[in-house]
Amino acid sequence: MKTTLFQQKQILREKALRVRNAISKIDQKKYSEKILKLLLSMPVLQSSSSIHTYVSKDSEVMTHQLIYTLLERNINVICPRIQKHNELGHSTINSFNDFKKNKLGILEPKEELPSFSINDLDVIIVPGLAFTRVGNRIGYGGGFYDRFLIKTNAVSIGLAFDKQVINKLPHNKDDSILDYIVTEKEIIKTEKNI
């Protein structure tokens, strides 16, 4: 029996999550620090005034230090908030006091914070479970970032542990292609930028 694209992606999500969860907490922290250093060295990040980033949870590449660093540098830090109809809202935060946990246990900007126009974003830091060198990614299955990324011209940068970068992913026309992927070992300039 032939598997559907959805089934292929779901199988890959489960495998990718097991691989990522198998990285020890000590290595996750060490690798996240290396990723942050490489990310902050990128000229596109250094010239940006408005950066959108996810707030890390569980075994994701850690972004809390990134957020602190960007705030210290007086850069607009914009974070996502899940809204009705499976869409992302976006708000500027000024400190970690501006967050609350949503029903999934993810820190997101409080609802009373004003929205930020995605047209004014310079860079979007993107989470994921698996990535390819050409810029494909598999997220958690909600399509939040695919719908978000097609609405903006901001530079998209996926953060991944090296073990999350694989040769091939099933994809379709609705899947967004990232501009860069940063791992603890390298900055990958994807085919979108060649």
Task: Name all domains of the chain by residue range, CATH numbers in brackets.
Answer: 5-193 (3.40.50.10420)
The closest alpha carbon to 90, from 104, 82, 79, 76, belongs to: 79
Contact by Cβ (8 Å): 139, 154: no
The pLDDT value given to residue 52: 98
The pLDDT value given to residue 1: 58
The predicted model gives 111-128 an average pLDDT of 96
The predicted model gives 82-93 an average pLDDT of 88
What tokens does 146 get? 């695919």
The pLDDT value given to residue 5: 79
Contact by Cβ (8 Å): 122, 152: no
Quick check: 3 pLDDT over 90? Answer: no
Contact by Cβ (8 Å): 175, 8: no
Quick check: 139 pLDDT over 70? Answer: yes
* Averaged pLDDT of the chain: 93
Quick check: 31 pLDDT over 80? Answer: yes
The predicted model gives 76-103 an average pLDDT of 92
Given the structure tokens 């820190």, which residue do they identify? 107
The pLDDT value given to residue 185: 98
- Cut 0.85: pTM above it: yes
The pLDDT value given to residue 193: 63
Given the structure tokens 């979108």, which residue do they identify? 192
3-state helix, strand, coil in the chain (%, to 5): 35, 25, 40
